[in-house]
């Protein structure tokens, strides 16, 4: 598929800001949505807006079918063993909070340990901190080296018989380097430690086979992979989810309710209390279909060319400090976080914005990463397969112009 053909599916791309063509390089925060997703959302809202699983009427049946078909689609996409292992949430953050709370309730005793890596998004740090505080457990940190690689050499040393779970990103949202999840899982499992993988970035550029990777929990958001906001997925191994208590109480998650006691619905309903985001969740199907289409050879080759060009242009500029330097055959997603000597990231982002270029600036929701590298913030350009070489060239030219303005 040619990139121009792909771009036709994303109306948001062909607009101007301040009279200049938009260059959208903030995809790691939220991706653009294709018409297929917009159509699904609007069709369900307009015509099939009915609560699922309960009523017997036609609309409810159709809405239920859309929702449950999505579950099956996601199951197949992740290669999970069964539909009971797929829980819908409002996003990655909600999914991690659910696991941190319920896993904590079921399995964590005072004195136990949780490990998070230093490169995690706040959403994969704070829920664990909160749980550790509540349970009297200890939060340990797996460090990152100067190039932005997880220090797997120290992992074995910090795993103890009390370490119950390690939470780690498949791909960090600041460094963009793919972590060896399978290897991490093997090391952890050999010490009876479970693994939660934050796939918010990874699902978009790498994908996952949860059975092959072996991770115990895998989470991602819909809005970063072309779906509607307020959609997310928690994959959890059935035997773990079954032992975990519910997160929220209310409708849908019950079997019977008596004042003498309530019993809970079987998986995955147990974790889906209240009316779910029933119009938006089914957008995961066209969204993930779009992601599949983007793995087309021509698009992948084209994207690789853009990525190589940007990596070259940014790493060869002596004023630019690039974070997350891939080693050998390591995969780096098209995500480039950097700082410019003597220039504040916010100033750069503001000027680039006026040039029509959307990038992210600040702490990237990863303050410990900023501290690790001794910076107050970074600038991040993150691309999707619908971005073009012309956009990349325009970004580099504009960046140089903006730096000249500021220095």
Cβ contact 270:243 at 8 Å: no
Does 208 participate in binding another protein (rule CB under 8 A)? no
d(CA 352, CA 29): 17
| Main-chain phi, psi angles of 22, to 5 degrees | -70, 130
Token couple for 63: 């809405």
Cβ contact 115:138 at 8 Å: no
In the residue annotation, 132 being an active-site residue is answered as: no
Minimum separation from the CB atom of position 213 to another protein (A):
38
Among 257, 354, 371, 390, binds another protein (CB under 8 A): 354
Does 353 participate in binding another protein (rule CB under 8 A)? yes
Does 141 participate in binding another protein (rule CB under 8 A)? no
Q: Say how many residues make up the chain.
A: 407
Among 2, 350, 390, 397, binds another protein (CB under 8 A): 350
d(CA 178, CA 271): 30
The count of residues interacting with another protein (CB under 8 A) is 14
In the complex with another protein, the residue whose CB is nearer, 157 or 342, is 342
Cβ contact 352:406 at 8 Å: no
Stretch of 37-45, 144-152, 168-176, 339-347 lying at the interface with another protein (CB under 8 A): 339-347
Q: Based on the number of CB atoms within 10 Å of its own CB, is 203 exposed (0-12), middle (13-18) or buried (19 or more)?
A: buried
β-pair partners for 235? 86, 218
In the complex with another protein, the residue whose CB is nearer, 154 or 405, is 405
Among 3, 35, 355, 358, binds another protein (CB under 8 A): 355
Token couple for 319: 């004023």
Stretch of 32-40, 147-155, 268-276, 352-360 lying at the interface with another protein (CB under 8 A): 352-360
Diameter of the chain by CA atoms? 72
Does 365 participate in binding another protein (rule CB under 8 A)? no
In the complex with another protein, the residue whose CB is nearer, 327 or 354, is 354
Cα 228–Cα 358–Cα 314 angle in degrees, nearest 5: 120
d(CA 47, CA 152): 51
In the complex with another protein, the residue whose CB is nearer, 238 or 344, is 344
Stretch of 105-113, 236-244, 251-259, 349-357 lying at the interface with another protein (CB under 8 A): 349-357
Contact string (CB under 8 A) for another protein, positions 17-46, x = contact: -x----------------------------
Report which of 358, 359, 318 is spatially closest to residue 342, judged by C-alpha positions. 318
Does 5 participate in binding another protein (rule CB under 8 A)? no
Contact string (CB under 8 A) for another protein, positions 153-192, x = contact: ----------------------------------------
Cα 386–Cα 390–Cα 396 angle in degrees, nearest 5: 110
Cβ contact 89:95 at 8 Å: yes
Does 351 participate in binding another protein (rule CB under 8 A)? yes
Residues classed as catalytic: 365
The binding site for another protein (CB under 8 A) comprises 18, 343-344, 346-347, 350-351, 353-355, 362, 376, 405-406
């Amino acid at each position: 598929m040619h990139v121009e053909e792909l771009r036709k599916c994303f109306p948001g791309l062909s607009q101007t800001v301040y009279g200049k063509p938009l260059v959208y390089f903030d995809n790691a925060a939220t991706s653009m949505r294709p018409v297929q997703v917009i159509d699904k959302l609007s069709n369900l809202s307009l015509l099939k807006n009915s609560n699922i699983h309960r009523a017997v009427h036609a609309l409810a049946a159709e809405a239920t079918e859309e929702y449950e078909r999505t579950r099956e689609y996601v199951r197949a996409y992740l290669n999970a063993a069964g539909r009971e292992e797929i829980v819908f949430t409002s996003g990655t953050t909600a999914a991690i909070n659910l696991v941190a709370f319920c896993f904590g309730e079921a399995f964590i005793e005072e004195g136990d340990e949780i490990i998070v890596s230093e490169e995690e998004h706040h959403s994969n740090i704070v829920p664990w901190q909160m749980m550790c505080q509540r349970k009297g457990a200890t939060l340990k940190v797996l460090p990152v080296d100067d190039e932005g690689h997880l220090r797997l050499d120290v992992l074995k040393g910090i795993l103890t018989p009390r370490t119950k779970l390690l939470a780690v990103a498949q791909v960090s949202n600041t460094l963009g380097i793919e972590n060896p999840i399978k290897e991490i899982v093997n090391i952890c499992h050999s010490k009876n430690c479970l693994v939660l993988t934050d796939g918010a970035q990874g699902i978009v550029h790498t994908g996952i086979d949860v059975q092959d990777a072996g991770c115990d929990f895998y989470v991602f958001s819909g809005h970063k992979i072309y779906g509607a906001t307020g959609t997310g997925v928690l994959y959890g191994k059935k035997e773990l989810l079954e032992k975990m208590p519910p997160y929220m109480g209310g409708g849908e998650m019950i079997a019977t309710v008596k004042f003498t006691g309530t019993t809970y619905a079987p998986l995955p309903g147990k974790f889906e209390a209240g009316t779910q985001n029933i119009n938006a969740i089914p957008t995961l199907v066209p969204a993930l279909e779009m992601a599949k289409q983007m793995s087309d050879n021509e698009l992948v080759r084209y994207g690789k060319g853009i990525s190589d060009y940007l990596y070259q242009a940014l790493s060869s500029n002596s004023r630019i400090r690039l974070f997350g330097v891939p080693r050998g055959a390591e995969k780096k997603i098209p995500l480039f976080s950097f700082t410019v000597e003597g220039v504040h990231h916010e100033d750069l982002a503001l000027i680039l914005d006026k040039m029509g270029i959307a990038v992210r600036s600040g702490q990237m929701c990863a303050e410990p990463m900023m501290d690790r590298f001794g910076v107050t913030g970074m600038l991040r350009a993150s691309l999707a397969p619908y971005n073009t070489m012309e956009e990349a060239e325009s970004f580099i030219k504009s960046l140089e112009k903006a730096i000249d303005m500021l220095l």
